[in-house]
């Protein structure tokens, strides 16, 4: 030590720390003591509560990104599930709507078939059922195609009926199809009978008479007893339609002072725009039995000539 100096630092033996092993054993003993003391006396419970309260905001902030990500994933999954359920619900609704419409159509067809069955039992003319396939594409005519043709025995001129009345007449026959001209066609004519008065007249088709088409009684004198609501049926004098079939009902009568004839508009009773199942009748003229052939006059029997008869004839010829 140099002279005149004074050592003020502690000796080296007091500056030495415990060895790491000793520190480890000390810390282990302290931890064990705190564990036992906390388990028996809960001496760290207040400290734990204080630390938990102080760290809660940090924990909440740290958990927010995780919760947002989890909520976002859940939202996306729920959205996909909702879209999938919506699509399934729409498909199920569409199927239910289709089934409901099919059921309504089947019920309507069933009712029509029952009415046709009852009509067929009342008819005395031979008839065969048919189904309307489609309307003809010609916009200037009112015709439909049915699924019965020449192979089924349908002939031109055959009357066609639905459950409510006369629908039209077969005008063209193919092998498996037939063309039916409706009553409202401008070229269609049908003899009718006023059920109330018994007066006969002729009804003409008029596509532009009313909304959807109708019929008109032409060449009817203005003083004829015709009223709105009169029922018109087939007269049966044309040899095509059987008598007594419902045809139309009078809806409007116009009598003009400047015209000799009245304008009488009628509404067909048949479903000219919605018929599905129909009956094809045999024309009356073809359904009638054949007239018996007149019997041949019996030949006169020849009398055998005798000599006396020959002599008498010769004498008579001589006298002439």
Residue 296's pLDDT is what? 52
Residue 6's pLDDT is what? 52
Residue 7's pLDDT is what? 54
Q: What is 39-62 written as a DSSP string?
A: HHH-TTHHHHHHHHHHHHHHHHHH
Residue 42's pLDDT is what? 79
Q: Which of 180, 226, 178, 174 minimizes the C-alpha distance to 203? A: 226
What are the structural domain ranges in the chain?
22-122, 127-287
pTM > 0.85: no
Residue 160's pLDDT is what? 93
* Mean pLDDT of each 10-residue bin along the chain, 320 residues long: 55 67 89 83 80 85 86 88 89 81 70 64 77 89 92 92 91 94 93 93 87 87 91 90 91 88 92 87 71 55 46 42
Residue 159's pLDDT is what? 93
| Third-level CATH fold of 127-287 | Thrombin, subunit H (2.40.10)
Report helix, strand and coil shares of the chain as percent, to nearest 5: 40, 25, 40
Neighbouring residues of 158: CB distance < 8 A, sequence distance ≥ 6: 169, 170, 178, 280, 281, 282, 283
Residue 133's pLDDT is what? 92
């Amino acid at each position: 030590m140099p002279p005149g100096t004074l050592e003020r630092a502690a000796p080296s033996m007091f500056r030495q720390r415990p060895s790491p092993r000793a520190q480890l054993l000390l810390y282990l003993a302290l931890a064990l003591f705190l564990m036992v003391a906390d388990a028996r006396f809960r001496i760290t419970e207040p400290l734990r509560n204080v630390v938990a309260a102080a760290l809660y905001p940090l924990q909440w902030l740290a958990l927010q990104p995780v919760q947002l990500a989890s909520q976002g994933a859940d939202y996306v999954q729920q959205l996909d599930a909702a879209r999938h359920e919506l699509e399934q619900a729409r498909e199920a609704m569409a199927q239910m709507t289709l089934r409901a419409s099919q059921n309504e159509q089947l019920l309507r067809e069933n009712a029509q078939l029952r009415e046709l069955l009852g009509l067929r039992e009342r008819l005395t003319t031979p008839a065969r059922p048919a189904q309307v396939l489609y309307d003809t594409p010609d916009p200037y005519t009112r015709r439909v195609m049915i699924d019965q043709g020449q192979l089924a025995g349908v002939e031109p001129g055959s009357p066609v009926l639905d459950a409510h009345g006369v629908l039209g007449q077969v005008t063209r026959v193919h092998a498996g199809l037939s063309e039916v001209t409706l009553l409202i066609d401008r070229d269609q004519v049908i003899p009718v009978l006023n059920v109330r008065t018994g007066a006969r007249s002729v009804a003409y088709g008029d596509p532009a008479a009313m909304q959807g088409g109708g019929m008109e009684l032409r060449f009817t004198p203005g003083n004829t007893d015709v009223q709105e609501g009169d029922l018109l049926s087939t007269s049966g004098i044309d040899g095509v339609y059987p008598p007594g079939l419902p045809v139309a009902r009078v809806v409007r009568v116009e009598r003009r002072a400047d015209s000799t004839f009245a304008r009488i508009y009628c509404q067909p009773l048949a479903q000219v725009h919605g018929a599905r199942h129909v009956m094809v009748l045999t024309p009356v003229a073809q359904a009638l039995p054949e007239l018996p052939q007149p019997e041949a006059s019996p030949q006169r029997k020849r009398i055998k000539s005798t000599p006396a008869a020959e002599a008498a004839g010769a004498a008579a010829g001589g006298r002439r």
